[in-house]
Amino acid sequence: MTQPTSQSSALSVQDLVDTAAGELAGINDTESLEAWRVAYLGRRGRLTLFLRGLAQLDLEERRVAGAMGNQAKGRLEELLDERSKSIREAQLTRSASEDRLDVTLPGRPLVSGRLHPTTQIVREICNAFMTMGFSVVEGPEVETDHYNFEMLNIPLGHPARDMWNTLWVDQQNEDGQYPLLLRTHTSPMQARVMESTRPPVRVVVPGKCYRYEATDATHEWHFYQVEGLAVDEGITFADLKGTLFEFARRLFGSDRKVRFRCDYFPFVEPGVDMSIDCFACDGEGSGCRICRDSGWIEIMGAGMVHPKVLAGVGYDPEKYTGFAFGLGPERIAMLKYGIEDIRLFYSNDLRFLSQF
């Protein structure tokens, strides 16, 4: 084996620089550039190994070859630098033209939120009554036995309590007297409103109610109600009929007919349920899914405020009379829009909710 000399080293180092420069000229991306760097200048790169090999030369040769080697290293580093700059510039120009913002493209549509169907129908109902002079008030969802039952002429042990089985809150109210419960209807606001105002009273009370209920297509364990109350001197059943008839026409169209039939609620006397003639079949009835062949659809309970309820809040039942009503907005929406399952309202399915 022949000893390397500075002359043979000069030849091979020049070769190496030429080959490296040739390869570099064909490189156009940063990955290949890095591979090139490793191949020549890395720890086991060709130039690095060359420089390491110089240790075997004698002193004079090593000096000459070492200088050439270092020059070659400087040259390769310089070339690497230039190439890396030009690759970066090329990338920038490319992305500037390819990723350019085209302001003439149509925008991506923003999905706008909307009100929940219950909120929409509650507002529609309240608006109808507001234009007839009613104000809107709200009350507590956690209610006392006192207001939810007692003040509405439903004393402990009254069979009507069975209709309003509920969720009890494991706590007493401030004065420790009455058990608390999630209100089963909005009717407790009747007494609360009358206790805090003098007649004339004209209010509607929208709000959430709760019942201990096995859910099905027409029953939810939580739902909304809108309560109504009008009390003054000389209010008669004719006022009840006129007001509720007008309400039905506003919500369901001007040619609706209404029907009142006797019903029982402990806090009204007489009590009624109110139906409208079916808007789907115009009261024809046969083969109609909405009214189930009857031609009529029940939309609310109502009645003349019971004298005991008036007396309970300190109103003189000889002087004042009034009417009350309660309706379920989800049920109204189901009728109006042909929704077949009340559970859809609160199952958070956008396919349902976004239709309204």
Stretch 6-25 residues interacting with ligand DAH (CB under 6 A): none
Region binding ligand DAH by CB under 6 A among candidate stretches 198-206, 237-245, 280-288, 319-327: 319-327
Of 122, 201, 324, 333, the active-site residue reads 324
Q: What angle do CA 275, 278, 280 make, to 5 degrees?
A: 155
| DSSP code string of 280-308 | TTTT--TT-TTTTTSSEEEEEEEEEEPHH
- Sole binder of ligand DAH in the list 187, 243, 275, 321 (CB under 6 A): 187
- Cα–Cα distance, 81 to 73 (Å, whole number): 12
Of 225, 302, 305, 331, the active-site residue reads 225
Residue 295 touching ligand DAH (CB under 6 A): no
The answer to whether the CB of 181 falls within 8 A of the CB of 142 is yes
State yes or no: is 91 an active-site residue: no
The answer to whether the CB of 159 falls within 8 A of the CB of 227 is no
State yes or no: is 258 an active-site residue: no
- Sole binder of ligand DAH in the list 326, 331, 339, 345 (CB under 6 A): 326
What's the start-to-end Cα distance of the chain, in Å?
92
State yes or no: is 65 an active-site residue: no
State yes or no: is 225 an active-site residue: yes
Q: Report the b/e string of 264-286 with b at 16+ CB within 10 A.
A: ebbbbeebbbbbbbbbebebeee
Region binding ligand DAH by CB under 6 A among candidate stretches 24-32, 54-62, 88-96, 318-326: 318-326
State yes or no: is 268 an active-site residue: yes
Residue 303 touching ligand DAH (CB under 6 A): yes
Region binding ligand DAH by CB under 6 A among candidate stretches 79-87, 90-98, 135-143, 321-329: 321-329
State yes or no: is 185 an active-site residue: yes
- Cα–Cα distance, 327 to 225 (Å, whole number): 6
Residue closest to 279 by CA, chosen among 310, 304, 254: 254
Residue 325 touching ligand DAH (CB under 6 A): yes
Give me the 210-239 binding string for ligand DAH, x by CB under 6 A, dash otherwise: -----------------x------------
- Sole binder of ligand DAH in the list 295, 301, 322, 329 (CB under 6 A): 301
Q: Where are the beta strands (DSSP E) in the chain?
A: 135-136, 142-144, 168-172, 179-182, 201-210, 222-233, 258-263, 268-277, 296-305, 320-327
Residue 190 CB neighbour total at 10 angstroms: 31
Residue 73 touching ligand DAH (CB under 6 A): no
- Interface residues with ligand DAH (CB under 6 A) are 185, 187, 227, 265, 268, 301-303, 324-326
Which residues are known to be catalytic? 164, 185, 211, 225, 268, 324
